[in-house]
Amino acid sequence: MKTVEFLALGLRLVGIYAFLKGIQNIALVFSQAPIYHAQNVDFTAYYLVSGILVALYFAVALLLVIRPVWLAQLLMPKVPVQEDATPDSSYSALQTAALTVLGVYIVSYSLPQVVHNLALFWQATTMVEYYSQIQRHNHGFHLLARCIELGIGIYLCLQAKGLVNLLQRLRGRG
């Protein structure tokens, strides 16, 4: 199996997982609606923003399922033909593909969590009569942690080859 095919298979699996998480996010959006109803707040903006974010999430998941080979070719670094002949380069390419799949998985897992924690943080800062100062800080810290997790996933997606090179240097192979 070629490295691009391995990465494409991983991307497709992450896309299927993203669909399942998207369904969970839709349930989450509707479960928080009674909070806004109880406040007699015009929550059209809440549904609009949530709907746009969920639609964007499903679009990315659909792209992962329908076009994984194209995305894999974009994510994999361009390697000259003579470097593919060595056994270490195929091992390196496999490591790069695995780290990229891991990065896409982390992004697909943490992106809904970032949106969820952002909504909770926004609620805590706008409805101060229902949230204590400690709860507002906790929501802020959870949001920060999920943003860091998202950053790690994006780094793994875009810089997997550099991380593999660093690991090989540390092991004494490079």
- Residues 6-53 have pLDDT tens digits of 788 888 888 888 888 888 777 776 777 777 666 666 667 767 777 787
Token pair belonging to 95: 């490591």
Q: Which residue segment(s) compose the domain that 30 sits in? A: 3-171
- Percent of the chain clearing pLDDT 70 (strictly above): 84
In this prediction, residue 148 carries a pLDDT of 94
pLDDT band at 83 (very low <50, low <70, confident <90, very high): very low
Token pair belonging to 11: 């991307």
- CA-nearest of 107, 89, 103 to 3 is 89
**How many distinct structural domains can be found in the chain?**
1
What's the length of the chain? 174
pTM: 0.58
Instruction: Report the alpha-carbon angle 16-61-145, nearest 5.
Output: 95
Q: Which residue has the higher pLDDT, 131 or 80?
A: 131
In this prediction, residue 82 carries a pLDDT of 47
Task: Give the three-state DSSP class for 132.
Answer: coil
- CA-nearest of 46, 42, 48, 41 to 129 is 41
Mean per-residue pLDDT for 101-125? 84
Quickly tell me which residue has 């002949």 as its tokens: 85
